[in-house]
Structure 1
Amino acid sequence: MTHTSTDAVRHYEKALEHLLFFRDEVTTEARAAVRASPHSVMANVLTAYLGLLGTEEKDAAEARTSFDAFRQGAPLTGVTPRERMHLAAASSWLDGDIHGSGRILGEISVVHPRDALALAVGHQIDFFTGSATLLRDRVGGALSAWDEDDPHFGLLLGMYAFGLEEAGHYSRSEQVGLAAVERNARDVWGIHAVVHAYEMQGRFTDGIRYLDDRAGDWTDGNYLKVHNWWHYALYVLETGRTDQVLAVYDDAVHHEGSAGVAMELLDAASLLWRLHLAGIDTGGRWAALADAWAGREDGAYYVFNDIHAVMAYVGAGRTPEAERLIRDREAWIRSTRPEVSNVAMTAAVGLPVSRALLAYGRQRYDEAVDLLLPLRYRLHAFGGSHAQRDAVQRTVVEAALRAGRHDVARTLLSERTALRPVSPYNWAPGRGSPTTWATRPGRPPTVAGRGNRRRRSPADERPRRTRRRHREVRGAFGVRGRRQARSMSDTLTSERFEVRRARCTTRRGRCTRSRCRWCSGSRPEWASPGRSRCRCGPAGGTRRRCRCTRCGCTWWSRTRTRWASPSRSRCRHGPAGGTRRRCRCTRCGHTWWRRTRTRSASRRRSRSRRGRAAGTRPPRRCSHCGRTW
């Protein structure tokens, strides 16, 4: 580090450490490094980066002024090539070319893969520009050059985990993110990556549990805590507890003591917009949030912030202010040179999305759909993560429902359910909409009568609200979707029980003796509702579901013991009918049903080496890969 004293190096290393951990002290240490060595290249470059990473127009203007003063007065003789590249990257970003700055930082990472500053700043640039591939590969390309014993290696894994999640590798992202947090418990970016992985898989109960268990590591001492609280509120929103969502909003996301920075305000706008789409009354929160955005008086600096400001104005019913912001950005585009990255981002995505949000607020749903549909696969161009951009994706769904464009809504919901089949939002699209799937034109509502009543099974012992979602989904996808809807309702029921596990793990059962129903207060997660006895005692027993491989019929078999398997009971057709067992290949994962006649009469059965007491082991063969065992 040229022109840098020992004291300045110490402050610089502390500032870099705070930056990787997202600590509030990073700015203090960076300024201390500049004071200790005013002509230090890397100290001034780090200060310039910090002024840009917050996406605040005023901070960026101050950083540009101080950086220009440094470049005019500092002697640049003897500066290393890497420092010159950092100077070029910072200058490019300060001039508005954020993509050019990211490319220069990428070149630094190729030549110097252990440059933590280049990797961290480049990683954030990829996030701001919505480049999922670079989020993954910029850090992934440097991992092999790092020693696993390096104290910063775990923080690098946290960045890589987030890149994996944005690129769609959710299981791998979870694995790497957990390993990163295991190395550094207060790695809030690693925690953030795991939370994103759970979000994209619809595992909201796992996300709530994970954030609760790690609450002491992310809730204070960093400037990512509000964003992680936002993720927590999204998880709670999936469970349907909107009162707790609003409590999280008031306590942690936005309140009178909030700093009013853009990173926090956009999280607040995104959360309230989701509630607005669901038709949930948020009281006076929209007005307070719109006042906070209006008080900033931001110019055209970062389109992602502008879109969330429009959300706040539309949600508060202040459409003239939203129109004024859109007109201002249109004029700015015409008067600004195209080399500025925000020009293309605003023109291509920002303005159409803002107009669509305004049209939605004016209940011109057809117009909103027409504006957003062509942008669905280009929304990443204005930055942010998949979870953040999902607010716009949900707007398309709700607008299509309200506009009566059911073919479009069906296609969008089919895409969503294929990706996140356990998300309750995807299976209750009519919430808050004047037109629901069950009563849409061309599909008369089902009339329940004596002739079409069916026998209720234990799967129907689900909360009334979940059964209503079942009916909505069945109306949406017709007869072909009934089995999928029933399976989804069962999944939602299990998720709901899992959410309430800390309070009570009450489970439902049915007695085969007197057909009474009861709740067993069994605490362990593995306890099955069919493995608890009712008040009728041991003679009552339980019921299990069986399937015949001959005729395909299903029935409830009575069993007295825990170990009895449903596949060891016969159907009404006798031994010739047989039962079916589920097999899985441990090599390729292929699964299939294997037919067996009785417990002991199979020709392919053979005794295990442990004799009769150990039971029998059926030889199995995978029809997919041919392996036998």
Structure 2
Amino acid sequence: MAYFNEDRASSVRSTMRQDPRGCPTSTVSAAAIEQMEQALESMLSYFGDALAALDRAQAADPGWAHAPMVKAGLLLTVGEYETTRQARVALATAARLAANAHEREKAHIIAAQAAADGNWDRACELWDAILVQWPRDVAALLFAHLFDFYRGDALNLKRRPQRVLPRWSPDSPFYGYVLGMAAFGLEESGHYCEAEDAGRAAVAMNPRDPWAIHAVTHVFEMQGRHRAGAEWLDSHVEDWAVDNGFSFHNWFHAALFQLEKMDTQAALEVYDAQLAPVADMALQRVDRTAILWRLKLLGVDVASRFAALRGTWSTDAPTAGFYAFNDLHALIACIGADGSGADALLAAMANAASGGSSNERMTRKVGLPLARAFRAYGAGRWSEATEGLLRVRDSAHLFGGSHAQRDIVTLTLLDAAVRAGERRLAAHILAERHPAKQHTPLTAFWHRRISGAKTQRLDYQ
């Protein structure tokens, strides 16, 4: 990327300041740094308005390239077409101001540009290169951490926070948030005891850390401790559920715990009260779709809810085809409603499956094959759906999401296999749940389905 001078005296930048973690910055404005700290805390905690704080930081020092750059990074981490378009505008402003920026800040612009160009893998490499030099650069860590999640890179979800933590101290601002990131990476890598310890320690340092609360919640989910998980969320509800941008996802987990004990009425109540009212972001629509589909697999009539949800998803390019994980859930919403839009969405995904961007690779390897299998399921082609889901399931992590989120693939495979008469295959797959969840009511439900025993059909409206 080319950088060029703003008509501004470079001597203004001759005296470098540092942020509260010792990272060099080119602004000389204490007010700009203060607003940046507020923005970073909002980004880490999901409390407050990070974009507004970044605008205030830029107003305090209009020549500081880092303020629009962090704004671009934040918009990029939403993982949607429109916010990426907005991020490119912010990046253009940062590039225009970059001549007098510090080396660290220029490196951020290059990394963010790679992400905006669709090369999420390269962007994570570049953010990690920043962390090599400035391991307490919490923005670089956060951006890379979220894109590790989007890319399904469990190895770096775990290792990236571990690589920088020794260079932090517990009294460093935002240390607890870094510990919370480490906890989530440990959980997604299967290190459940360590993850729970780290997550609980992070919450003890900062009770209002929804990401750390969420990391411990994932441990309960993966270990089949659904009652303890529900109690954990409930005991911290005042810390994560009030005026918090991440609350919808923790409500998703609350609904999962209700489903694990087969209390579909309680799960529906969570959906109607906490998930249905929000659909501003794809991340929210993903959670809404996932809960409704799980309920549908259990025989609950959710058609009217799917019809309402279907209207919140776009099925046409360029929104469709931007991120394969979101696209799959949009397709599921179409199938759960009346099927309209599914073919347009499949076409957008097919167009996105060629090329070299990160999403093009994810769509080609995982997103499109899964979408076609779900489409077959929606059309009642049970054997085709079973074969398609089985073929891709073991590599589904390559298109992002968490283990808990991707469980929708396995649950759909179980149902498709039963409907296809492949009961031995279904039993074979269900056995995977035995180490952690053999005694849960949800597992018992699937045992009955597979064995052909009579199951109660649940028709809550």
Superposition TM-score, scaled by structure 2 size: 0.89
Task: Tell me the alpha carbon deviations over residues 349-393 of structure 1, each in whole angstroms, 9 at most, x when there is no partner.
Answer: 000111111111111111111111121221011111000000111
Matched, 1:270 2:287: no
Q: 1:69 to 1:176 in 2, by over 3 A?
A: closer
* Conserved? CA contact 2:324–2:362, under 8 Å: yes
1:404/1:393 CA distance change after superposition, 3 Å: same
In structure 2, the residue matched to 1:506 is none
Say if 2:461 is the partner of 1:410: no
The one-letter amino acid of 2:79's match is T
Give the aligned partner of residue 109 of structure 1: 131
Q: Which residue in the other structure is 1:13 paired with?
A: 37
1:125-524 superposed matches below 5 A? 125-255=147-277, 258-294=278-314, 298-318=319-339, 320-334=340-354, 338-429=355-446, 436-438=450-452
Query: Is residue 49–residue 90 contact of structure 1 (8 Å, CA) maintained in 2?
Result: yes
Q: 1:81 offset after TM fit, Å?
A: 2.6
- Counterpart of 1:102 in structure 2: which amino acid? C
**8 Å contact 2:315–2:345 — kept in the other structure?**
no
More strand by share: 1
Instruction: Tell me: higher relative CO, structure 1 or 2? Use CA pairs within 8 A at least 6 residues apart.
Output: 2
> Rg bigger for which structure?
1
Quick one: distance in 1 between partners of 2:291 and 2:28? 45
In structure 1, which of residues 36, 40, 46 is the aligned counterpart of residue 70 of structure 2?
46
d(CA) in 2 for partners of 1:369, 1:75: 53
CA displacement at 1:295 relative to structure 2: 8.6
Q: Which residue of 2 aligns with 1:23?
A: 47
RMSD in angstroms over aligned alpha carbons? 1.9
Instruction: Quote the offset at 1:165 in angstroms.
Output: 0.4
Q: Deviations over 1:232-259 (max 9, x none)?
A: 011011122111111110100113xx24
**If the length of structure 1 is used for normalisation, what is the TM-score?**
0.66
| Aligned counterparts of 1:370 and 1:8: Cα–Cα separation in 2 | 56
1:417-468 per-position Cα deviation (integer Å, ceiling 9, x unaligned): 234333322232156x5xx4156xxxxx9xxxxxxxxxxxxxxxxxxx9xx9
Distance 1:238 1:250, change over 3 A: same
Aligned match of 1:76: 99
Change (3 A) 1:296 1:30: farther
Following superposition, the deviation at residue 296 of structure 1 comes to: 8.9
Structure 1: which 5+ runs fail to align? 440-444, 446-464, 469-629
Equivalent-residue separation in structure 2 for 1:58 and 1:4 (angstroms): 33
Structure 2 distance, partners of 1:421, 1:154, is: 34
Read off the aligned partner of 2:373 and give its amino acid letter: A
Q: Report the 3-state secondary structure (helix = DSSP H, G, I; strand = E; otherwise coil) of the residue aligned with 1:425.
A: helix
Distance 2:30 2:173 in 1: 21
Is the CA contact 1:401–1:430 (under 8 Å) kept in the aligned structure 2? no
Which stretch shifts more, 191-200 or 3-12? 3-12
Per-residue Cα deviation, 1:506-548 (whole angstroms, up to 9, x for no partner): xxxxxxxxxxxxxxxxxxxxxxxxxxxxxxxxxxxxxxxxxxx
Inter-CA distance 365–67: structure 2 relative to 1 (3 Å threshold): same
More helix by share: 2
Return the offset for 1:331: 2.4
2:421, 2:320 → 1: CA distance?
Answer: 37
Residues 154 and 184, structure 1, Cα contact 8 Å, conserved in 2: yes
CA distance in 2, matches of 1:75, 1:430: 61
> Matches of 1:259 and 1:408 in 2, distance apart?
37
Q: CA deviation at 1:283?
A: 4.7
Task: State the alpha-carbon separation in 1 of the partners of residues 414 and 205 from structure 2.
Answer: 41
**Shift, 1:184, TM fit:** 0.4
Change (3 A) 1:106 1:352: same
SS at match of 2:87: helix
Counterpart for residue 35 of structure 1: 59
How far 1:315 moved relative to its partner? Answer: 0.5
Could you tell me whether the CA contact under 8 Å between 1:56 and 1:262 is conserved in 2? yes
Structure 2 gaps, min length 5: 1-24, 457-461
What amino acid does structure 2 have at the position aligned with 1:314?
Answer: I
CA-CA distance at 1:231 after TM superposition: 0.4
Q: Whole-Å Cα distance in 1 between the matches of residues 279 and 337 of structure 2?
A: 20
* Contact 2:154-2:185 at 8 Å conserved across structures: yes
Give me the whole-angstrom Cα distance separating, in 1, the residues matched to 2:211 and 2:281: 19
- Looking at structure 2, the residues matched to 174 and 193 of structure 1 have their Cα atoms a distance apart, in angstroms, of 7
The amino acid that maps onto 2:202 is A
Cα distance between partner residues in 2 of 1:430 and 1:323:
34
Q: CA deviation at 1:227?
A: 0.5
* Aligned residues of 2:314 and 2:320 also touching (Cα < 8 A): no
* Contact preservation (8 Å) 2:76, 2:116: yes
Deviation at 1:24, TM superposition (A): 3.5
Contact 2:199 2:212 in 1 (8 A): yes
